Amino acid sequence: MFSSLNIFRIVALLEGISYILLLFIATPIKYLLNDPQYVKMLGMPHGILFVAYVALAILFKKQFSWTNKQLAIVLLASIIPFGTFYIDRKYLNLAK
């Protein structure tokens, strides 16, 4: 079944994808074509995934023995495009 690590990895992947879609597709469509429907459609799921990612990262700090600096990097990655993909490769792949 799904371990808690796999759930965190899935949330990180979905959060990263939703952020990229929101930032590079929905927002340009909103401002260039004056059509905000895609931002409205992607905004709420991305927000939920973002909150879940942050909450899971804080919960996993102790389990993975992350320092405060490592936790800060994991949290900062959630606001950088493609950042969650880096975290998955650098911090979550090794945790198996």
What would the pLDDT profile of 8-38 be if each residue is shown by its tens digit?
999 999 999 999 999 999 999 999 999 999 9
Average pLDDT score over the chain: 93
| Mean local confidence (pLDDT), 76-94 | 91
SS3 content of the chain, % helix, strand, coil (to 5): 80, 0, 20
The answer, yes or no, to whether residue 2 has pLDDT greater than 80, is: no
The answer, yes or no, to whether residue 77 has pLDDT greater than 50, is: yes
Give the CA angle between residues 24, 52, 48 to the nearest 5°: 55
pLDDT reported for residue 24: 96
Domain span at residue 73 reads 4-92
pLDDT reported for residue 70: 95
% of the chain residues with pLDDT over 90: 85
Contact between 17 and 48 (Cβ < 8 Å) = no
Domain count, the chain: 1
The answer, yes or no, to whether residue 94 has pLDDT greater than 80, is: no
